[in-house]
Structure 1
């Protein structure tokens, strides 16, 4: 039990700490302005390099070291790409608010234009991980990136189509126009589909965890189960009224030029 509990706790801590660290860096850049956003992204290049190195070193290592190296390597690459997005450097070609009354296909195309550079970057990252892990004995890096990739697309679609709860507190200044593309309202058919698929994924990883006959296999599927469960939780937080922002608000400085109603 302890052998699988520790990786779960580790995955949750890495998720919480990495999210907070990225938000802290981006908010620091927002407060300073000027070239600070580029400095933040440049300062994160070692993180990207460590991620690539972690995945490469994990490929021929099927033991515990390989599992953790692949998992953390994929998270590092994903985190750097997310930082590129949140700093406003890799976003999209459209930086204006969504016009009032725009709907249907035209609204979707305009929303896509606000983020398509980021989506391409995530897809290129996925392609890189697929190519790097092809034929490798250790596939944990690929599964980690796939979970993050699928969950992020699902979350963006639900925010675009409509969900009851949308946390705007941590949207960076450079991405403030994205708020106009979110839709707060009743859930659509996309939400139960997302919840069902994520729940089935959690169940599948739990089944693999129970069936694993090696310590490395148990750790691998414990990490993947925890990561998928966190993605499922993030989706439920679009509906369930819980103060999830408090997880990171205490560690962040007050945002610059944030309207009073978005501070709570």
Structure 2
């Protein structure tokens, strides 16, 4: 699988499908019983374990198969941490909405406290996968996780400081308070800087792929280029009025209406 179009489409599909599956599971748990979110995280543990095992086994060889294994393993490892966060299991000590009149120091304190354990989990994951790949032939599991990590940090900072368009449709019940930490306003200087940095990173990965002499390196860097380009598009969605929620909205279960609930009883 060295065709660049197949590689790019594979990365896009994996990003869309993995995001959609997590959102679907979280929405199902939201509509279920009080313990459904916890069960989602527990039943999703094979993602964490499989991701760690896959990342460990992929680093020792730089082959087409090991590059794909490293990329998929990083997505699985990342996906479980995101599932744990969206399920409200690994979040932070602050679970109350931020008062609308809070000053910046209090906003920062409350916002950090609302995601603190999640950030620790991501940092621990990044350090663990990076440690695995030190002086190893195949760095692509760590590079994939690092790309996701820094793109997510950039997105969170922009949502906190201010962005014209903020989509809160997919926030589950356990994270309803998170929306109070977002600031819908004119974009700060950070957003164009973030977009420029992601564009440069996309170009850098693409140049590395173009200059690769081996198929494995070509595939790895192209996967990173597409993943970074997707992060760039997500940042652009904070400014451009595009209904990006429609990418997944159609596949999520709807809450029963009061009318249908009454009929069921």
TM-score (norm 1): 0.95
Q: Is the 8 A contact 2:2 2:215 kept in 1?
A: no
Moved more, 15-24 or 28-37: 28-37
| Structure 2 residue 6 is matched with structure 1 residue 6 | yes
Q: Is the 8 A contact 1:30 1:256 kept in 2?
A: no
Q: Is the 8 A contact 1:92 1:118 kept in 2?
A: yes
- The separation in 1 between residues aligned to 2:198 and 2:83, in whole angstroms, is 25
**1:205, distance to aligned residue in structure 2 (A):** 0.7
Moved more, 227-236 or 53-62: 53-62
Runs (5+) with no aligned partner, structure 2: 258-265
Q: Is the 8 A contact 1:155 1:235 kept in 2?
A: yes
- Superposed CA offset, 1:51-88 (max 9, x none): 11211111111010110011011110000000000000
| Structure 2 residue 150 is matched with structure 1 residue 143 | no
Partner SS state of residue 178, structure 2? helix
Tell me the residue number matched to 1:122.
122
Tell me the residue number matched to 1:261.
none
Runs (5+) with no aligned partner, structure 1: 258-264
**1:255, distance to aligned residue in structure 2 (A):** 4.2
Q: Is the 8 A contact 2:165 2:239 kept in 1?
A: yes
- The separation in 2 between residues aligned to 1:241 and 1:5, in whole angstroms, is 28
Tell me the residue number matched to 1:260.
none
Tell me the residue number matched to 2:240.
240
Pairs aligned (count): 257
**1:158, distance to aligned residue in structure 2 (A):** 0.4
TM-score (norm 2): 0.94
Moved more, 149-158 or 30-39: 30-39
Cα distance change, pair 39–117 in 1 and its aligned pair in 2 (3 A): same
- The separation in 2 between residues aligned to 1:184 and 1:33, in whole angstroms, is 32
- The separation in 1 between residues aligned to 2:98 and 2:186, in whole angstroms, is 20
Question: Cα RMSD between the aligned structures?
Answer: 1.3
